[in-house]
Structure 1
Amino acid sequence: MRNYQLTPDQRRLFSRQGFLRLPGSFPPHLVRRWRQVADHLEQQALEVHSQGLHGRDFCVVEDRVGPRLMRYDNLLAHASELLIETLACPAMMALARELCGPGAVPLHADLLYKHQHPHPVINWHQGAQHDRRFPYLNIGLYLDDADQGDGCLRYVPGTQHGAQPIEALSEHYGWSPPGVVEQPARAGDILVQDMMILHGSQPKRSEGVRRTLYVEVRPWQAVMESGSQSSQWADLRRRWMSQVLARADEADWPLDWGQYPRKEEALSELVSEIEACWEPPLPAVWASRDVYHPEYPVPSDLRPQEHKTEMRQLVT
């Protein structure tokens, strides 16, 4: 018997709306350990930034509050064992098994940090565009609460099936296009989304930082057929998944899905190879020009007074 299974209703809901929340499905002991890692990486990034240096794997932004970490990428290189254990947990195995299917492999794993306004807003966008012949998942594992009305994710259900007119929707509706859903989450929740669903998030109003671990999962065959990355890059992801399967409970993976190398190898050696063979990810799609709306991207009550005057002039 599987340790975690999606219900038929959950699978249908994901297929229809393009996102799905799995409450409390990220084990508490993993949440605690990732919080410690997130704290350490944040301190490390800010220290490097304070010395006037830059790192390939992180982004520190300067705003009127001071320097703040926005994201830390390439977690396989920075928390290898913990990431493998996370990908092998029952809920993550269920998502790979039931929503991605045979050949599922992890592509990237990154930590996103969201601080109180004026930290950057995440405007409406769609993830990596693809031909949709294969699933492509973006899975968020929450380390902190994302409360309603406090900059949690917003989705427009059903927009995952093709490219959307992001500029027009933003200009006409701001944060409230037809059918929009504001999706709160609690620490320990997993929120999985179709890579192409239209989504974004308003400013965070409360104090403190919100951390979310994001993992992209896609069938290995999709990478090969798309030509988006090299065959070497794709094969390294199969070997990465082999490490995950070796850690997972055998009950959580079909024995006949024999698409992964069975050769045992040291995780440290694999990480070194993946580091040496870095290739850029497929980019997200954003508005191609600045968009002006009275409540978007920063709501009017959070804007400086001089910017409110400019916006009134534009509207009139």
Structure 2
Amino acid sequence: MGLANVIIPVVDARVQDAISDEQAQFFLDNGFLVIRNVVVGEELRLVQDEMQKLYDKGVAGNDGDPDYMYGIGVKSGQQILRRIEYVIDKSDPMKALLAHPFILRSVEKLQGRNLIPTWDSMVLKAPDEGVIVPWHRDAAVPAGCTDTRPIFNVDFYLDEADLKTCLWVIPGSNKWTKAESDARCAQPGFTTEDAIPVPMQPGDVIFHNIEVLHGSPEGDGNPLRRTVYYEFRPGEIEAEFGPHTLEYLANKQHVLLDCIERRKAAAYSQDETPYAYKPTGAFAISSPKQPEQYRYAHEFYWRR
């Protein structure tokens, strides 16, 4: 499909309960989907304020907390905050955000009822110090997996992303072979002749497949851009191939159930129809339990 033929559908979370069949097919074909007006009003303000606190902590110094990650700023050459892991653990509004019903219904449409939340982070471009993100895939579908359901990230934008800070994607590259992907990523510089920019407003969301090629140029006078990433995987794929253990999957299911209950209690969610998480088969939950924690560190649950 040529770039001239890529017509990005208009998806507005204010007027839909979930993505449509046609919008789901666009995502499957192209590897990304833009959804407008997902986080609005009081919730958007709360989430922005909470993530600003984490950003400020990371800029001021974090007492050696490994969840705060840094890169070299393009202007100063100094260590610049670029990523914060486990944001659900660090903020109650981020717990409620995980349970956003439009998002979960849409994830279920693409992955099925046994969806698992597997990752939560905030990725940053610091003001005037945006670190280049070269062309890349987030990960690969496990070798030997024939299940065609997508593994993908849900990217919540907390700030405007203009052409200086926005994500660029290569539509359809989620279907490329590894050799094709590697060859494109090996090209020098951040070239965009086969890519499209995806400008965003605060509260908008991108679904992006872990195998779609994407990246962003370095900042030059860029404002702060904060993006929260929640990754989801079909439980059946994760159970068979990993990388996490089955214990991790069960823990994260109880985290999701807890977050759904938290969202029901939030003042800004009272007009919503809550998402009903009803996993089946080996993933069915007979008795929900309070999570022991919200930071199940990946390194303790990798398969050996």
TM-score, normalized by length of structure 2? 0.79
- The one-letter amino acid paired with 1:129 is A
Q: 2:294 aligns with which of 271, 281, 284?
A: 271
Distance 1:207 1:83, change over 3 A: same
Aligned equivalent of 1:150, options 159, 164, 173 = 164
Contact 2:95 2:259 survives alignment (8 Å): yes
> What pairs with 1:252-267 in structure 2 (closer than 5 Å)?
252-253=275-276, 257=280, 259-267=283-291
- For structure 2, the residue ranges without an aligned partner over 5 or more in a row are 1-14, 265-271
Which structure's CA Rg is the greater one?
1
User: Which amino acid is the alignment partner of residue 24 of structure 2?
Assistant: R
Give the distance between the partners of 2:130 and 2:293, measured in 1 at CA: 35
2:6 counterpart residue number: none
Letter in 2 for 1:73: E
Q: Which amino acid aligns with 1:271?
A: Y
Aligned to 1:115: 126
1:105 pairs, out of 116, 127, 133, with 116
Corresponding position: 1:78 with 2:102: no
Change (3 A) 1:177 1:276: closer
Q: 1:275 to 1:144 in 2, by over 3 A?
A: same
The superposition leaves residues 111-167 of structure 1 with CA deviations (integer Å, 9 ceiling, x where unpaired) of 1110245432000000111145242111100000011x2131111111112325455
Contact 1:233 1:277 in 2 (8 A): no
Please show how residues 1-316 of structure 1 align to structure 2 within 5 Å.
Answer: 4-48=17-61, 53-63=63-73, 64-65=75-76, 66-79=78-91, 81-131=92-142, 133=147, 134-147=149-162, 149-161=163-175, 162-166=177-181, 168-170=183-185, 172=187, 174-176=189-191, 179-246=194-261, 247=263, 252-253=275-276, 257=280, 259-267=283-291, 269-271=292-294, 274-275=296-297, 278-279=300-301
Match for 2:135: what amino acid?
A: W
Change (3 A) 1:27 1:97: farther
* Distance across 1 between alignment mates of 2:100 and 2:49: 19
Please state how far the C-alpha of 1:271 moved relative to its aligned partner.
Answer: 2.5
Specify whether residues 165 and 94 from structure 1 end up closer, same or farther in structure 2 by C-alpha distance, changes over 3 A only.
Answer: same
Amino acid at match of 1:92: I
Deviation string 1:9-59 (CA, Å, 9 cap, x unpaired) is 21111111110000112233222112112221122223335xxx5221011
1:82-136 C-alpha deviation (Å, 9 max, x unpaired):
2221122222122222122121011111011102454320000001111452421
Contact 1:155 1:182 in 2 (8 A): yes
Structural RMSD (CA): 2.8
Gaps of 5+ in 1: 282-316
Counterparts of 1:227 and 1:25 in 2: how far apart (Å)? 30
Q: Secondary structure at the match of 1:271?
A: coil
Contact 1:241 1:260 in 2 (8 A): no
**Residues 103 and 36 (structure 1 numbering): CA distance in 2 closer, same or farther, change over 3 Å?**
same
Q: 2:299, 2:255 → 1: CA distance?
A: 13
SS at structure 1 position matched to 2:61: helix
